[in-house]
Amino acid sequence: MKNSSLLLIATIILISVNTFADFTGTWIGSGETQRPTREGSCKDVEIRLIQTQKKLTLRGGHYNCDGISAEYPYSVFSIRDGKLYEREKFVGEITDKKIKLVSPADGYELNFNLYKGKLYLVESWIDGDDYLIIGAELTK
């Protein structure tokens, strides 16, 4: 009886750690951009994340691509039933392998996908025929 209780507790702890710890860290890498008239490289992409069961914190980050640079602002999102909220407004979804942040009114979407220890970032801004897509492969 004692051993089965300990095994159950250990299993619960491992599931909790594996489910909610993967996105946490400073992720650094490179990628590329695509626009209607040209493509370019992103030699410097960084994103800093902290994830708990109830909260996702974007501690900041940036990208420097051919002629385009931007900072990711500090943002805190509540996690409820796999959905992300910023100040009670729905802004996206989260699973153990994917984060999706959206702002349809702005034509904005930011996706993070975990695969084999790497974080794949895809950010897109779409306004009619004009668009900017940034893709990057990041590691801790």
pTM of the model: 0.82
Instruction: Tell me how many degrees the CA angle 81-85-89 measures, rounded to the nearest 5.
Output: 125
State pLDDT tens for residues 2-46.
Answer: 444 434 443 343 444 444 448 999 999 999 999 999 999 999 999
Between CA 121 and CA 112 the distance in angstroms is: 5
The CATH fold assigned to 2-139 is Lipocalin (2.40.128)
Tokens of 123: 């950010």
> Residue 106: its pLDDT value, please?
92
> Residue 22: its pLDDT value, please?
82
Q: What is the mean pLDDT of the chain?
A: 88
State pLDDT tens for residues 82-104.
Answer: 999 999 999 999 999 999 999 99
Q: Are the C-beta atoms of residues 92 and 100 closer than 8 Å to each other? A: yes
